[in-house]
Amino acid sequence: MNPAQKDAEQFLLTLNAAWKSLGLYSPNHPAATAAFKNLATAFEKLLGAREQITLGLLHDTLVLEGVPLTAKADLFRTIVTRLQKGEVQGITFLKGCPQEELRRFVEILGVGMKSAEMEQEFKRRGVSHIFLVQLLREEEEKAPPPETVEKAEERVGAGAVYSRAIQTIRKVFQETRLGKVPSLAEVQRTVEDMVGGILKGKYSLLALTMIKSYDEYLFNHSVNVGILSMALGESSGLDATALRELGLGSLLHDLGKIHVPETITRAPRKLTEEEWEIMKRHPMDGMRLLEQMGVQSEIALRVVKEHHINHDRTGYPTLAPGEEPHPYSMIVHIADTYDAMTTVRVYQGPADPSQAISRMKVLAGSAFEPQMLDRFVEMLGIYPPGTVVRLTTGEIAVVTRPGGEDTSRPWTQIVRDREGKSVEGPEVNLMEWDSEAGDYARSIVIALDPTARGIDVPKVLQEREATPAGHSP
């Protein structure tokens, strides 16, 4: 048995002892206090120099960072049973987890809640260094075969496509962290749904990329980059087959970050030289993970490998002499940069879309392929789909799609009238001219924060999807 497995065994033994102490003593009893002190000590030794560690459950076997713990399995039967009853597949512990959080974790896990309830209880009781991974049921693991684009179009709308993609990418990252090889078939079905949504009407999906989540940045970012990349690919004339390959690579482009400690990915400062070298490994790590999943698409593999390589061949990893980045990698590079720039990060506030585009235009010809960047700007417009805006009429609207030659005048869906009351207003073209006033009938005054205004952008767009007159031209 290697030292790491010995440390894991000791941690599990002290975890068992801590559970037993709660059944025998009050939380403040000296015996209970000693049991949790021992648990904290065992945890620190188990973690060592690592930033995080995941204890998982695969069938009836506990695994530590993907390595099965087969010795003394009978001693850990209570832990296995508790995890199975709670439908918990794994537990990730972060560095810095205090003794008090370990105690709360043991108390919560001992109550017999399901994983979703546990997570809510974690939030309520301030457990921020411990995360659960939901147990996978057999029927979920058997992903149905990929469907045709037509079937995908019939089955799901934009909101459902986005939600499924988030669930899929979360599952892929969680399984990879546990050392399990994720289902390629399930990812391919999700990509099929996304391609269907893009071909059906990309602006409904593009609007949902305005959804940003600090807590789940990696998942939202992966899906947003997938949508932005496939939409740009469709605008560039790619067919469904090419979009599937582009979609597979773009959706999984950051999978290699699973090996980058959170202290680096969430660092609120400039990375040290050593940390930067670790970060720069994630494209190659990601490509290897895709190969393990059985991905055979050269395009998808190259997209993952090359999404941080610039148009002028700088960036990382270093290309071989005479080697050029794939054009699809240039698409993902643009999408990746744009979504990162317009999202709140620990080290930066979000740029609004126009600011992000302005900064990216400065880098045309060096970081970005100029024609592809122009096509991206044309596709999004100044106010991308999903942006909430106040109009000169006093109305509030959600941008649904670009309007044409003037990118500052998109199509919008009115959601609040002049008095601020919620309405199911019409979709209006801001190019509409008021001949009596000698001016445009409506113009955008300012972009607004939808959360602060209580506007559910995905709901607005889904309701518009359900109305035949609301489809894109």
Which run of H or E residues covers position 433? strand 433-434
Domain ranges of the chain: 3-135, 141-380, 388-470
- Which is higher by pLDDT, 241 or 121? 241
Confidence of residue 253 (pLDDT cuts 50, 70, 90): very high
Residue 235 has pLDDT above 80, yes or no: yes
Mean pLDDT in residue range 68-89: 72
CA–CA dist 247, 229 (Å, integer) = 7
Q: What global pTM score does this model have? A: 0.65
CA distances, 233 to each of 96, 206, 246, 267, 328 (Å): 43, 13, 8, 33, 8
- The pLDDT of residue 318 is 93
Average pLDDT of the residues in 289-295: 96
The domain made up of 141-380 has a fold known as Hypothetical protein af1432 (1.10.3210)
Work out the pLDDT band at 380, boundaries 50, 70, 90.
confident
- The share of the chain scoring above pLDDT 70, in percent, equals 84
What pLDDT score does 472 carry?
39
Which pLDDT score, from 0 to 100, does residue 465 have? 59
pLDDT of residue 30: 87
**pLDDT tens, 48-71?**
777 677 777 766 677 766 566 665
Residue 428: strand pairing partners: 412
Nearest to 375 by CA among 386, 363, 356, 361: 361
The pLDDT, as a whole number, for residue 28 is 80
Among candidate residues 14, 28, 53, the one with its CA nearest the CA of residue 261: 53
Dist. CA 159–CA 354, nearest whole Å: 25
Average pLDDT over residues 249-268: 88
Token representation of residue 16: 């068992």
Poorest-confidence range of 129-133, 218-222, 387-391, 392-396? 129-133
65-69, 238-242, 365-369, 443-447: least confidently modelled range:
65-69
184, 293 in Cβ contact below 8 A? yes
